[in-house]
Structure 1
Amino acid sequence: MFPTSSPPAQQPRPPWPAPPVDTPGSAPQAAGNAPTPRRKERDPFFDNAKFLAILLVVVGHSLANLLDVPLAKGLYIFIYMFHMPLFIVITGYFSRNWTFSGGKARKLITNVGVPYVVFEIAYSLYDWLAGRNELEISLLKPYFLTWFLCALFMWRLSTPVWQQIRWPLAVAMVFSLLSYMSDLGSTFNIHRVIGLLPFYVLGLMLKPAHFELLKRPAARMAGIVTLVCGAGAAFVVMNHMNKDWIYWKDPHDELGVGNLVGTLMRLGMFGCAIVLVAAFLTIVPQRRTWFTGLGATTLYAYLLHGFVTRLLQFTDWWGAAWMHTVPGVLAVMAGAVVAGTFLCSKPVVRCMSWALEPKMTWAFTGLRRPGAARPVGRADQR
């Protein structure tokens, strides 16, 4: 993780100069130049967690059209209980140092805001070209997968607020529970933005030490048992609950319950989701694996896999009889894992980085374009 340690005791300086030390991937230090600080390495634990989580997302969406098969329905409810809370908690954890400083604000625009606009337009056009509906592009009503980018943009902007108040998680929970007591409309998918906010705030509050607790062998065994029990519970309740609960987007009256029952249900779902998130993290590999590098590009798989699942829906492939069997469900899940892995790969990143990670230096003030002449200051004139 990110261990903290006290500064080492000062040692006596040797009578001769120390030779320069070259680190892999860095240029040798020139005499008289200040040493270049080493870039902090990514923790493989979190990249592994993000990659496995995106596979859950892709598999979950692949099961959505096969719910007449009990195996698919049980797994679908189980995955949806915690896969997005897992992503949101990790996102909140890595947003702890977010501020309105120029660099981070620009990155929020280019890596979240711009992809939201691009894929909102792309999915709307895709839907229209397939003959599903009239062409309607509205940035106020996120389409399909783009709701997460919209929510992430708002959550990041609110980060400094949560870091200033005394009981951020309790306040976020109150806002979330109150939001489901009335219909707030579909603008910005606001029910999900506010409803899932506590998971983001929880991530902001977590420390490296909390994740270290989940890496212990005893925690791993408990996590495995918890996940097995959670999956079993999903199969037990799958025919006795409205699955719309797991989408976190509908007020209580649309789910057919009063505010008291709805609030208790939401509290139970929050508790179950947090327990399952913690249990899942206990089984995530802590060392580098063959898929660790793919964990840094999970947003590609998230935004692009929808075109595949939508294509199968538009062409009516989901209606194939062989898919609606246990072997068919297992085959679809295997295909989803392969597709999700491929969409995180370097070839896809190289082809689609213009849409998901655009540079856009031309769009911001105070940035010097590559190759542009540096302005001459007084010190240069002297």
Structure 2
Amino acid sequence: MFHAVSSLVRSPRSSQNRNDQHRPAPDRSAGRPSQRPSGRRDAFFDNAKYLAIVLVAVAHAWEPLKGDSRLLQAAYLVVYAFHMPAFIIVSGYFSRSFDASPSRVKRLVTGLVVPYVVFETGYSLFKRYGDHSPGQEISLLEPYYLTWFLIALFIWRLTTPLWKTLRHPLPVALGIAVLASVSPGIGDDLDLQRVLQFLPFFVLGLCLRAEHVRLVRRRSVRVAAVPVFVLALGFAWWAVPRMNAAWFYHRDSAQELGAPWWVGPVMQLALFGCSLVLTAGFLSWVPGRTLWFTSLGAGTLYGYLLHGFLLKAAEYRGWFDHPWLHRHVGEIAVSVLIAVAVTLLCTSPVRRVFRVVIEPRMEWAFREDPLRGARERGKASA
């Protein structure tokens, strides 16, 4: 996911659950992805992952504050329209090489399943004792708060070989998402509504190639993104009292949101188009050169999974209830603090401490792949 990374907010229905190589780009000022030696990370994608995780954390911090500010609610809608789609598209882009080989299945287990079990348990226990909620159960079938993305990415990656064999995978994925939006019987197990409604973004990422990324990085797109985001913010400000924000969470069907069934497909397709435009604008602004935060892009999974404990602790202790935090100065202060906090959580010292539960090696749990040596010798001879 990104390393495995995107939000994770509570919907009104459940307020508590919450290679191809890149060719050298002649225009360096455009910050396009450039070709790098094998094994080298691409600064553009690391920058995108870091900036996206900051947006995710900031938007989560806005959740308990936005009720008193129409402008903050509008900004919240704009961010929620593209930050998880951007996460998921990039996740799909880096999942193109998934082939269900033993080594990649092992990586799925250690990189997604194990963190899911650990953090699903951790967040549930944290709520039980931190919020004095003895009724909070530990259920691996009902993802709590941030953990839904881990199980979603696990399912999406497992189905990657299927999408790579279809002639038109994106229309099929959109059809599945549309059907999910009118199917209240899907229920909450594994947060399948989100898994299915966000699926088209992952499949889109699988379909992308380096040349598509270069198109987004053009100067004309960066310039056009300015009025696009201004218009989006203006529309969101108008829509705040008229639209249910739960549509952006993609965790409910139309009927569960109190709308006629036919609104589900309309909203699904409209939000998909809106998310793509805003994601393209966001990616067009991402720097392509190495900056001070580029190395943090490798640790976004840590920032994603850990920042929720900070926000939940603040919620359980009632810190968000202080009146001054609901003023503009307080909202800005909270945004800056959580941005700094998630930045620190992506750093190497934090990663070294938590690697045992977020990126465990677990060699003891897996048999040696008998074909691994042959494959490596084949690559070397090629």
Q: Return the TM-score normalized by structure 1.
A: 0.86
Task: Work out whether residues 71 and 326 of structure 1, in 8 Å CA contact, stay in contact via their aligned partners in 2.
Answer: no
Residue 339 of structure 1 is matched in structure 2 by 341
Residue 300 of structure 2 is matched in structure 1 by 298
Matched, 1:116 2:116: yes
Q: How far has the Cα of 1:281 moved from its partner?
A: 0.4
Instruction: State the alpha-carbon separation in 1 of the partners of residues 175 and 38 from structure 2.
Output: 40
Match of 2:323 among 299, 321, 324: 321
Matched, 1:40 2:22: no
Q: What are the residue-to-residue correspondences of 1:44-193 with 2, within 5 Å? A: 44-67=43-66, 68-130=68-130, 131-183=132-184, 184-193=186-195
Residue 29 of structure 2 is matched in structure 1 by none
Q: How far has the Cα of 1:340 moved from its partner?
A: 1.1
Indicate the larger mover: 172-181 or 72-81.
72-81
Q: How far has the Cα of 1:75 moved from its partner?
A: 1.4
Task: Work out whether residues 179 and 194 of structure 1, in 8 Å CA contact, stay in contact via their aligned partners in 2.
Answer: yes
Q: How far has the Cα of 1:224 moved from its partner?
A: 2.3
Residue 242 of structure 2 is matched in structure 1 by 240
Q: How far has the Cα of 1:66 moved from its partner?
A: 0.6
Amino acid at match of 2:120: E
Q: How far has the Cα of 1:4 moved from its partner?
A: 5.6
CA shift digits 1:314-352 (9 cap, x unpaired): 000010000010111111111111011011011110110
Residue 26 of structure 1 is matched in structure 2 by none
Residue 35 of structure 1 is matched in structure 2 by none
Q: What are the residue-to-residue correspondences of 1:221-260 with 2, within 5 Å? A: 221-260=223-262
Q: How far has the Cα of 1:76 moved from its partner?
A: 1.1
Residue 214 of structure 1 is matched in structure 2 by 216
Task: Work out whether residues 102 and 369 of structure 2, in 8 Å CA contact, stay in contact via their aligned partners in 1.
Answer: no
Instruction: State the alpha-carbon separation in 2 of the partners of residues 223 and 284 from structure 1.
Output: 12
Indicate the larger mover: 43-52 or 260-269.
260-269
Amino acid at match of 2:22: P
Q: SS state of the match for residue 262, structure 2?
A: helix
Instruction: State the alpha-carbon separation in 2 of the partners of residues 363 and 224 from structure 1.
Output: 50
Q: How far has the Cα of 1:133 moved from its partner?
A: 3.9
Instruction: State the alpha-carbon separation in 2 of the partners of residues 133 and 256 from structure 1.
Output: 31
Q: How far has the Cα of 1:215 moved from its partner?
A: 1.4
Change (3 A) 1:69 1:100: same
Task: Work out whether residues 59 and 76 of structure 2, in 8 Å CA contact, stay in contact via their aligned partners in 1.
Answer: yes
CA shift digits 1:334-371 (9 cap, x unpaired): 11110110110111101100111001000001169xxx
Which protein has the bigger helix share? 2
| Identical counterparts, % of pairs | 44
* Superposition CA RMSD, Å: 1.6
User: Which segments of 5 or more consecutive residues in structure 1 lack a partner in the other structure?
Assistant: 6-37, 369-382
Instruction: State the alpha-carbon separation in 2 of the partners of residues 114 and 273 from structure 1.
Output: 30
Instruction: State the alpha-carbon separation in 2 of the partners of residues 350 and 303 from structure 1.
Output: 15
Amino acid at match of 2:207: M
Q: Return the TM-score normalized by structure 2.
A: 0.86
Segments ≥4 residues shifted beyond 3 Å: none
Q: What are the residue-to-residue correspondences of 1:364-379 with 2, within 5 Å? A: 364-366=366-368
Residue 201 of structure 2 is matched in structure 1 by 199
Instruction: State the alpha-carbon separation in 1 of the partners of residues 99 and 113 from structure 2.
Output: 16
